[in-house]
Amino acid sequence: MYNAKRDGYGNGANLAIPSMGEIEGRMTVLEVVAMTSLSLLIKDGDKHAAQQALSAIRRAMRLKCEDIKLSSLDADSAIAYAQELFEATFENMGREATKKIAPSSKRRGSRRSIPAFQS
């Protein structure tokens, strides 16, 4: 998508179409934001809240797909992707819960004076 501020300077005509890397980067941002938001909003193990959220996401996706006039096949594919993202979030939440409950038993030498942050 053309962005006048970004693409209007210098040789902007060839920059108007984003590269595959830019698109990939933006998709990654959206996936990370979505997964982080879902994991913060839904408590671990709250299946009722998870089902409600998934139903709301499916409804919103159906409406958005209709708004942008996607074919039914493309809409189904988009909704399936939303389901995959949702399931990956809960799988990741399960792994994080397991890490908190059962930390690694491996000794890593002396204790660190600076806390190690997980990414």
Range of the structural domain that residue 56 is part of: 19-96
To the nearest whole number, what is the mean pLDDT of the chain? 76
What proportion of the chain, given as a percentage, has pLDDT over 70? Answer: 66
Evaluate whether residue 14 is within a structural domain.
no
Count: domains in the chain: 1
Q: Is 65:75 a contact under the CB 8 Å cutoff?
A: yes
Output the furthest CA–CA distance in the chain (Å, rounded).
60
Can you give the length of the chain in residues?
Answer: 119
Q: What is the dihedral of CA 69, 71, 76, 80, to 10 degrees?
A: -70
pLDDT tens-place string over residues 26-75: 999 999 998 888 888 887 667 788 888 889 999 999 999 999 999 999 99
Evaluate whether residue 5 is within a structural domain.
no
| Residue 76 in this model has a pLDDT that exceeds 60 | yes
Evaluate whether residue 110 is within a structural domain.
no
pLDDT of residue 94: 76
> What is this structure's pTM?
0.62
Evaluate whether residue 101 is within a structural domain.
no
Backbone φ and ψ of 116, nearest 5°:
-90, 130
Task: Report the pLDDT averaged over residues 7-17.
Answer: 60
Evaluate whether residue 77 is within a structural domain.
yes
Evaluate whether residue 6 is within a structural domain.
no
